[in-house]
Amino acid sequence: MDLWEKLGMSEVFVEFWQELGISAGTAIVVLIALYFVVKWAVKNGMVEAYKKIKEKRAWDNVKANKTVSDLKTEDEDINGKA
């Protein structure tokens, strides 16, 4: 009895893996490794996107502060009074 039959896989699926020359144990190991690679890539992508969002917010805040300070100086006269 093959491990594929123990796992209850359909014949089409079993034939597909057997044509590739991959046993059930190898297929399971490959799928587990693929899971962790995708998980790692998604996590790193999210961290990178979060950093870019934080940088953009910080830059927008800097622009907003400059704009507010520029507006204040335009409204003031030479003595600093509005």
Q: Residue 44: its pLDDT value, please?
A: 95
Q: Which two tokens stand for residue 64?
A: 């907003």
**Average pLDDT of every residue of the chain:** 78
| Mean pLDDT score, 33-55 | 94
46 in a structural domain: yes
In this prediction, residues 42-53 reach a mean pLDDT of 94
Residue 36 clears pLDDT 80, i.e. is over it:
yes
Q: Is residue 36 part of a domain?
A: yes
> Residue 12 pLDDT > 50, yes or no?
yes
Question: Binning pLDDT at 50, 70 and 90, where does residue 41 land?
Answer: very high
Range of the domain at 64: 3-75
Number of domains the chain is built from: 1
Residue 76 has pLDDT above 70, yes or no: no
Instruction: Kindly tell me if the per-residue pLDDT of 77 is higher than 70.
Output: no
